[in-house]
Structure 1
Amino acid sequence: MQINLADKLAIVTGSTKGIGLATATGLAQCGATVVVNGRTEAAVQQAIAKIKQRVPNAQLIAVAADLGSREGCDKLIQAQPQCDILVNNMGIFGPKDFFETDDHLWQQYFEVNVMSGVRLARHYLPAMAEKHWGRVIFLSSESAFNIPADMIHYGVSKTAYTSIARGLAKRMAGTGVTVNSVLPGPTMSEGVADMLKEQAEQAGQSIEEAGIAFVKANRPSSVIQRMASTEEVANMIVYACSEQSSATSGAALRVDGGVVDSIAP
């Protein structure tokens, strides 16, 4: 299978690092023109430089905008009014006990992890429908089904993303536009590597070994018994953005290493 996106324009939100950066790189490798987004111009330019190292002929557009607000979403929309592919990747996470999670934090997670994708999908989907082609991805998480006791607020936001994707797929039925969610499990992003660094040093382990230990201790149902790489998650996203995925819509595509102990989709 060869994925060719040479005539497509893709927006990947939060694409300056982690899964977002890997996805932007993967889409660029397939020939798409990619809008690289982050909160600051410096971060966006650093990401573009990294993509260019992997894909020298990449066609990239820089848009610095904080999508955790309506104003930030409007800034992106004004800079790039239309697209063929929208990957709602941007999100935040962090442990916090339920009884210490105040209204402000709940609202922050809702604005960043839910409303950013809602606002962008609401804008970009109608034009996709008019062209009878489009791909929209919502980056959810295995935590959408396997709610972490120490991050209930995060899990709820990811359950919402999965629901939005399913509902929008139904709303766009028959238009040629597909909408899916992708559910990564534990993934070795820069943020996770930073989180594991102290643990690895104390145990005399490599970051990879610390990742394996984390998965076995905290996600014992994992079938692969390790963290996924950001590229492994991006591979699923790129496929879901392709012409070849045209019969896949309304799906919760799991790249969780088998963490969710269920044979249901």
Structure 2
Amino acid sequence: MHIDLTGKTAIVTGSTGGIGFAIAKGLADSGASVVINGRQQEAVDHSISQLREQVANADVRGVAADLGTAEGCDAMLAAKPRADILVNNVGVFGPQDFFETPDEEWQRFFDVNVMSGVRLSRAYSGGMVEQGWGRIIFISSESALNIPADMIHYGVTKTAYLSLSRGLAKRLAGTGVTVNAVLPGPTLSEGVQDMLSDQQQEGQSIEDVAREFVMAERPSSIIQRAASVEEVANMVVYTASQQASATSGAALRVDGGVVDSIA
């Protein structure tokens, strides 16, 4: 299968590192014109340089904007008024006990993890419908189904993305615009590597540390390891392609089998 996204413009939110950057790279590898996003201009510029080094002749631009605010989403829309592919990846996470999570933290998680996708999907879907083709992809999580007891607020936002993606897919039925959610499981991103680094013993690879973490915290994992960011990106690139035109309203799991369900 050869995925060719030449002529398509893709916006990947929260893409200066981790899964987001891997998605941007995968889309650029497939010929798309890619828009990198992060809150800080320095981080955006650095990621653009990295992507150009890794993908020959990459067509990549950047927009520095805090998409957890309405003003940031407006800034993105002003800089890039149209898109063929929108990957709603930006998000925050972190463990905090339910009884110690104040209202303002719930609000912050909801603004970044949910409202960014609501606002941008509402803004860009109209142009997609007009041209009869588009892809909207929400990066959810296996935590949408396996709500973590130590970060319930995060799980709630990722479950919200499942409802949002399914409902919007129905709303855009028959338009040529597909809407899907992708659900990564434990993934060895830079953030996870940083989180696990204090558990790393001398001579032990970070992959082995991640494997131990997965087996301790997600023992239902079938692959029994953390996924790579590239493995998650591969699913997103396929979902953005013409080849995935019959897939819409789906929750596509890249969770290594963590969710113990046949559906």
TM-score interval, normalised by the smaller of the two chains: over 0.9
Q: Deviations over 1:189-222 (max 9, x none)?
A: 0000000001013x75221110000000000000
Q: How does 1:1-265 map to 2 (within 5 A)?
A: 1-201=1-201, 205-264=204-263
Please give the alpha-carbon distance, in whole angstroms, between the structure 1 residues aligned to 2:260 and 2:80: 40
Q: Given residue 85 of structure 2, which amino acid in structure 1 is its aligned partner?
A: I
Please give the alpha-carbon distance, in whole angstroms, between the structure 2 residues aligned to 1:205 and 1:32: 38
Please give the alpha-carbon distance, in whole angstroms, between the structure 1 residues aligned to 2:2 and 2:56: 19
Please give the alpha-carbon distance, in whole angstroms, between the structure 2 residues aligned to 1:62 and 1:109: 24
Q: Given residue 7 of structure 1, which amino acid in structure 2 is its aligned partner?
A: G
Secondary structure of 1:36's counterpart equals: strand
Secondary structure of 1:3's counterpart equals: coil
Please give the alpha-carbon distance, in whole angstroms, between the structure 2 residues aligned to 1:109 and 1:244: 33
Please give the alpha-carbon distance, in whole angstroms, between the structure 2 residues aligned to 1:160 and 1:129: 23
Please give the alpha-carbon distance, in whole angstroms, between the structure 2 residues aligned to 1:159 and 1:205: 35
CA shift for structure 1 position 62: 1.1
Secondary structure of 1:193's counterpart equals: helix
Give RMSD over aligned pairs.
Answer: 0.7
CA shift for structure 1 position 245: 0.2
CA shift for structure 1 position 56: 2.1
> Runs of 4 or more off by more than 6 Å in structure 1?
none
Please give the alpha-carbon distance, in whole angstroms, between the structure 2 residues aligned to 1:2 and 1:127: 26
Q: Deviations over 1:61-115 (max 9, x none)?
A: 1111110100000000000000000000000000000000110000000000000
Secondary structure of 1:182's counterpart equals: strand
CA shift for structure 1 position 118: 0.2
Matched length: 263
Please give the alpha-carbon distance, in whole angstroms, between the structure 2 residues aligned to 1:32 and 1:119: 23
Please give the alpha-carbon distance, in whole angstroms, between the structure 2 residues aligned to 1:131 and 1:49: 31
Percent identity over the alignment is 67
Please give the alpha-carbon distance, in whole angstroms, between the structure 2 residues aligned to 1:88 and 1:177: 15
Please give the alpha-carbon distance, in whole angstroms, between the structure 1 residues aligned to 2:204 and 2:92: 27
Structure 2 unmatched runs, 5+: none
Please give the alpha-carbon distance, in whole angstroms, between the structure 2 residues aligned to 1:199 and 1:87: 32
Please give the alpha-carbon distance, in whole angstroms, between the structure 1 residues aligned to 2:38 and 2:107: 21
Structure 1 unmatched runs, 5+: none
What is the TM-score of this pair, normalised by structure 1?
0.98
Q: Given residue 96 of structure 1, which amino acid in structure 2 is its aligned partner?
A: Q
Please give the alpha-carbon distance, in whole angstroms, between the structure 1 residues aligned to 2:124 and 2:114: 16
Q: Given residue 210 of structure 1, which amino acid in structure 2 is its aligned partner?
A: V
Please give the alpha-carbon distance, in whole angstroms, between the structure 1 residues aligned to 2:47 and 2:257: 30
Please give the alpha-carbon distance, in whole angstroms, between the structure 1 residues aligned to 2:203 and 2:102: 37
Worse-matched range after superposition: 135-144 or 53-62: 53-62
Please give the alpha-carbon distance, in whole angstroms, between the structure 1 residues aligned to 2:92 and 2:141: 12
CA shift for structure 1 position 147: 0.2
Q: Deviations over 1:214-259 (max 9, x none)?
A: 0000000000000000000000000000000000000000000000
What is the TM-score of this pair, normalised by structure 2?
0.99
